[in-house]
Structure 1
Amino acid sequence: MPRRGGPPEVNAGSMADIAFLLLIFFLVTTTIETDSGLDRMLPPIEPPEEDVVIKQKNIFTVNINKNGQLLAEEELIDLKDLREAAMAFLDNGGDGTCNYCKGRKNPESSDNPTKAIISLKNDRETKYATYITVQNELVGAYNELRNRESNRLYGVDFTEMEAEYLNPETDQAIRDELKEKVERIQGLFPQKLSEAETSTSN
């Protein structure tokens, strides 16, 4: 039987289709990491009608330098101790008007949780991961105090109650009921977290 000339040819006509399908497959299955944002309420555009005077003792200053070191009230502090220090400041109740505060009532610290402000300042060279970790610790201080009061008043953690309230799948009647409770707890320890202008290292 005579042999046919030349090796058999490979049909490459469908290679473009295969490459296109592989491209779609990898686009669909690949996960792209994105930086999570921070939930912050922007200040109103209109300036306040009256100048607000804030006592220095009602401001808890936190500074992060480019090396990731923390200064709280001008003293070097470890990250693991930041939340406790912030909670002690917020829960101080120095003027005696806070009947739910369990702090030391130090007259040189914050007067009342409604007047207490945490001021965070970071260096331009501060690592993003450090910045986010410090933010989490400060927000965690608010959440722990809110959880305490929520358990005292309603027998449930504030974070769970707030998550159910913010869930769009929650029934509207339940959300209406939770709204009053969530706003009451937020009013006891309002989150006043201010970010000062970023500094530049010399």
Structure 2
Amino acid sequence: MFRKRNRRVPGLNTTSTADISFMLLIFFLVASSMDIDKGLTRQLPPMETKQEQKATEVNRQKLLQLRIDAADQLLVDDKVMPMNQLQGRVEEFLQSLGADHLIVVAADPASSYDCYFQLQNSLVAAHQHWRDRMARKIYGRGFRRLATVERDNIRERCPLHVTESIPENTKGGDR
């Protein structure tokens, strides 16, 4: 006759499991990279303590008006233009007027962020190309390869004057 033997399962020592799990968590947090949202990099002027606004006369010849309507259509000086042609148009404008210019950007609150970012990227690219061209003309090398004093000189010669507003014909809705 066979006797049934009761076998006992040995217990597992789990005291170090929490420590190991914690160390693995820290390792993966340190070793992994997290996606960083990209946006527009703009240095805003410091906030003024006075809310006083001054009226300034602007010569229409020195003004470039960019507007995005609710249908994401780009209007340059009230004429429809494809977004892929904007950078070239802005470069021509900057080259012809130099530092004495003003670019007015007006985006309808119903327009998409993607269209607005494309407009801003075109402005930045045109401005960088203008500075790079000026640096090559004066110093014989690109803007990024200049010394700090030389870069400051180019920044003074090639400022980007942009103002933003909400178009007057919109109801001022939220984005």
- Give the TM-score category using the shorter length: 0.7 to 0.9
Distance 2:127 2:90 in 1: 8
Aligned mate of 1:33, from 33, 36, 58 = 36
Query: Is 1:121 aligned with 2:106?
Result: yes
- Number of the residue aligned with 2:77: 73
Aligned to 1:85, what secondary structure does the other structure show? helix
Structure 2 CA distance for partners of 1:201 and 1:39, relative to 1, 3 Å = closer
Aligned to 1:91, what secondary structure does the other structure show? helix
Unaligned runs of 5+ in 2: none
Structure 2 CA distance for partners of 1:66 and 1:80, relative to 1, 3 Å = same
Distance 1:125 1:86 in 2: 24
- Number of the residue aligned with 1:16: 18
- Number of the residue aligned with 2:153: 184
Q: Provide runs of 4+ in structure 1 moved above 4 Å.
A: 46-51
1:63 positional shift: 1.6
Root mean square deviation of aligned Cα: 3.0
Aligned residues: 166
1:49 positional shift: 9.9
The normalised TM-score by structure 2 is 0.76
Aligned to 2:87, what secondary structure does the other structure show? helix
Whether contact under 8 Å (2:109, 2:166) holds in the other structure is: no
1:83 positional shift: 0.7
1:66 positional shift: 4.3
1:201 positional shift: 5.8
The normalised TM-score by structure 1 is 0.67
* AA aligned opposite 1:75: K
Identity among equivalent pairs (%): 24
Aligned mate of 2:88, from 84, 90, 110 = 84
Query: Is 1:130 aligned with 2:115?
Result: yes
* AA aligned opposite 1:65: D
